[in-house]
Amino acid sequence: MPAFVVAPVRPVGHAQTVKRTQIPAPGDRTRGRLIGVYNANGGLIGEAAYLIGKILGTAHCALCDITHSPVRRKKEWGELARRLPVSIELKHLDELTGAQRSVVDAGGAPVVLRDTGSGYEVLLDAGDLDSVGGDVAGFERLLLDRLGS
């Protein structure tokens, strides 16, 4: 199974769509792949609702703080995703499969899930993600420690 990077594409006059780009991955990066789940819905309405909530202090997503600056995805995040020993896919709450949704509903978001092949398990929970304070390097250290790398 090839690794994919999800990149948002917004054609003029259209709602947000998602473009999946296949990237050659070194070795088997799909085994044990990771799913990072934002504490927000996707699309223009979901992202706008999160932004308003963040400004008002009613919404918080530690994974958003790790992957994004106030205006765009952090360059450091892209570099980290390319060098990780496993692939990582980022999803919004409204983009989850049924199995992913069950795990997230039980433990909350944001969260990083590991695909075990027979289901999903929580690798990093909201408290873990909060502990790195939005720092990509701190996230990398924590993640690699949990992965045993």
**pLDDT of 117 strictly over 50:** yes
Tokens, residue 2: 């090839």
Give residue-wise pLDDT tens across range 69-101.
887 899 999 999 999 999 999 999 999 999 999
Nearest to 36 by CA among 106, 119, 96: 96
Strand residue runs (E) in 1-41:
3-9, 17-23, 34-37
Give residue-wise pLDDT tens across range 17-45.
333 333 334 444 445 799 999 999 998 89
- pTM score of the predicted model: 0.76
* Neighbouring residues of 148: CB distance < 8 A, sequence distance ≥ 6: none
User: In the Cβ-directed half-sphere of 21, how many Cα atoms lie within 13 Å?
Assistant: 6
DSSP assignment of 86-127 equals S-EEEE-GGG--HHHHHHHHHH-SSEEEEE-SSSEEEEE-HH
Residue 27 has a pLDDT of 46
